[in-house]
Amino acid sequence: MVRRYLQQLDHNVKLSFLFTFAFWSSRSIVFEQILSGYIFVLTSSNEPVGYIKGVQGIVQLLAAVPGGYASDHCRRDTILKLSAGTGLSCAFLTLYALYMNHMPLLYVVFALWGLFFAIQVPALEALFADSIPQGKRAYPITIKCVLTTVATIVGPCICVVLFQVEGDSWNLWELQLVLMVGMSLGIPPLFLLFFFNDDLAYENSIKTAVVAAKETQPLVALEAPSSASNMESEHNTFLWFGPRHVPYLLFTSDFIICNGAGLTINFFPVFFQHDYNLTPSQVNLLWVAQPLLVVVLSLVCQRCATY
């Protein structure tokens, strides 16, 4: 059943699933708990942990609006190819900076990563949505969410294995090795961004067919929308919120959550290392346990959404 469902999926949806799982597995190694521990051991201070994530966040914030505008007014596959080139450059620079333990270069690299995410995420999400018929997006979106969460489990599991092999201590060489392995795993999925295609998206194929049909048919007067449809659209609200409020609600929610996460999650590894003397493997096991519950609850919520 699952195999049949995957075979019926749009080309871009399949690629999106594969990219999400592969790249987020790498991202959960490089951008999360190990990075904080590595910077703390390298600099003997927790301030650079905040600085490096702050640089990434500020650049991503500044580039988010141009990135979203480009995704709306340009071909998404072109934007994704541009982001692929940016991401590959970032990946190789990250490997070099980690190998040299070059902290100033890491600031530059993570600023570039912020630019990458600002142009890649809107384009991929928009193309993903356009590749699924309206009314049938809940299940694929849930699958994508689950793949993201599973990938955040796979990354820490890889870290646990590597640390067990190397000695499981907060040693600069061990942290450096794990981060470089994680970054190397993120290079292949970046090449997938070159293979997305706007022309294969479901919504774009429908628009093309409609335009072709209009060109072969005489012009006719459009009927005015019925009062019933107007009433239906008017009642598509919750309390005093309507469809026009959705973007603002999503922005507010993400802004609050991301600010809270930036103040806490990035410093958890340093806290557990310094105050509780947890080993790197033990810290990564904490990062394994939390997403497991998220996966289960995501599936439950998707099932409830169908009723």
**pLDDT tens, residue order, the chain (307 aa):** 566 766 678 889 999 999 999 999 999 999 988 998 999 999 988 889 889 988 998 999 899 889 989 989 999 999 999 999 999 999 999 999 999 999 999 999 999 999 999 999 999 999 999 998 887 888 898 889 889 988 999 999 999 999 999 888 999 999 999 999 999 999 999 999 999 999 988 776 555 554 455 555 555 544 545 444 444 445 566 667 777 778 788 878 877 877 666 666 777 788 888 788 889 999 999 888 888 877 777 778 877 866 6
132 found inside a domain: yes
Please choose, from the candidates 151, 166, 138, the residue with its C-alpha nearest in 3D space to the C-alpha of residue 17: 151
pTM of the model: 0.81
Q: In CATH, what number is assigned to the domain containing residue 267?
A: 1.20.1250.20
Q: Of 73, 53, 71, 72, which is closest to residue 61 (Cα–Cα)?
A: 53
Give a yes or no: residue 226 inside a domain. no
**CA pseudo-torsion sign 283, 285, 287, 289:** negative
Rounded Cα distance between 33 and 52, Å, is: 13
Q: Is residue 3, in this structure, part of any structural domain at all?
A: no
Residue 2: inside a domain, yes or no?
A: no
Q: Give the C-alpha separation, 155 to 78, whole Å.
A: 29
* CA nearest neighbour of 65 among 102, 119, 25, 28: 119
Q: How far, rounded to the nearest angstrom, does the alpha carbon of residue 148 sit from its chain's CA centroid?
A: 7
Q: Which range of residues forms the domain containing residue 287? A: 9-214+249-305
- Give the pLDDT of residue 227: 47
Domain assignment of residue 137, yes or no: yes
- Domain assignment present for residue 243? The answer is no
What confidence score (pLDDT) does residue 257 get? 76
What domain count does the chain have? 1
